[in-house]
Copies of this chain bind each other. A is one copy, B any other.
Amino acid sequence: MQAEIITIGDEILIGQIIDTNSAWIAQQLNAIGIHVKQVSSIADNPADITVALMLASGRADIVVITGGLGPTKDDVTKQTLSAYFDCGLHLDPEVLAHVESIFQRSNRPMLEKNRRQADVLDKSEVLFNQVGTAPGMWVEHQHKRYIIMPGVPFEMKHVMQERVLPRLRQLSGRTPLWHHTVLTGGLGESFLAEKIADIEAALPPHIRLAYLPKPGIVRLRLTATGDALETLKTETATISQKIKERIGDHFLADEDTTLEVLIRDLMKQQKLVLATAESCTGGNIARLITSLPGSSSMFEGGAVTYSNAMKMKLLSVKRDTLDTHGAVSEETVREMAARAQAYFNVDYAIAVSGIAGPDGGTPEKPVGLVWIAVAGKKSVIARKHVFGQDRAINIERSSIAALLMLWRLLTAELDERARP
């Protein structure tokens, strides 16, 4: 069973808002075995709406429409839908009572345009919107289903969850579909693809593999369609296991997660505590960790030592080390990591020093050069990275590389400890 999503509203086409609704709706539909064929964003304009409806209903069984139902612009959308479905509009008394109660509660005067929010298509069943004034509508027309919802994200989600999904789950003809995503790190997209090329080539036709790369990280998504959901789960789990055996410790997690979450969970579980000493990443690693709920029990604190003076004062890096080897060097990051570990009195410490750019590079130490060290229970490891010219990307890649080094050292030391 195929669906299409149409979002109506100029604000997306002038770039004023990012369309987050479509991704959310697509997730919900995919989860119940309804495949999304296309997403179209169009203007508040009768001709555009009509053409989009015609094309979408030609390709899909279900057309999901959001937006264009607010009090300042629902005229155009509803009139256009009324013409398209060849039916009139009528005032729904239950919706009107609800709209009136909202205005009474907030003590605002109710205008004619607010009353008209209660107009619904004659051919529709109302999808009652408890949390806003614009009702949703469900229309069956020429063997296709149309689901019309407001564009305000929390109103749309409410209508979708409470009214639409329960009905869609009743429909027959949905294809069971299963996504299994794994997290890999430290292998570039194409190198990873090469490593597992034979596994990918041997996939049965009903299972597809997609690469979702971010700096330093690639998620692999297996999508399976078939008759029996349980079979699909078993099949994708088997393939995931094969990939794991092939790529070894580049396989980080058998689920759709992030490196920060893996680190937080493992450190909490093992009652280990982390600190950071950041130069070129400027607090970004601390931010990634502390953005997670519950991080306070495994994160003690961090130092952002942007200047050499601060590297010496706060982290006691020796002047001699900085003079002889420079701020961006193996010696300096090793000292930073070891000193941060001692100073913050923690189990693990990350240190990063590099040249993020665009200025500050030299022929010997170009923009993009980054040294990272991690101090663990038993050793301090350090590694040089050479990234590119873009400041924002250098900061992001350095942060992910540092977290990946921490993850490797953590799991290696825990493995070792676990051995008899």
Contacts and interface: CB of A to CB of B under 8 A. Distances in A.
Interface of A: 10-20, 22-30, 35-43, 48, 52, 55, 70-73, 105-106, 108-109, 111, 113-114, 130-131, 152, 154, 158, 179, 181, 188-191, 193-194, 208, 210-213, 221, 223, 276, 278, 280-287, 289-291, 293-296, 299-307, 309-310, 313-314, 343-345, 357-360, 386, 388-393, 395
A299 B152 CA distance: 32
A114 B381 CA distance: 31
A41 B15 contact: no
Secondary structure at the A interface, as helix, strand, loop or mixed, is mixed
A193 B190 CA distance: 51
B25 A190 contact: no
A301 B301 contact: no
Contacts of A48: 37-38
A309 B302 contact: no
A223 to B, nearest CB: 7
A287 B290 contact: no
State the oligomeric state as a number of copies.
Answer: 2
A304 B289 CA distance: 12
25 contacts: A11-B212, A12-B39, A13-B37, A15-B27, A15-B29, A17-B23, A18-B20, A38-B43, A72-B189, A106-B386, A131-B388, A281-B290, A282-B289, A282-B295, A282-B299, A283-B304, A284-B287, A286-B286, A290-B306, A293-B359, A299-B306, A300-B307, A300-B310, A301-B304, A304-B304
Contact of A392 (B29, B55, B154, B284): B154
Contact of A14 (B30, B284, B313): B30
A19 to B, nearest CB: 6
Given A40-B39, A294-B359, A300-B309, A30 B10 contact: no
A102 to B, nearest CB: 8
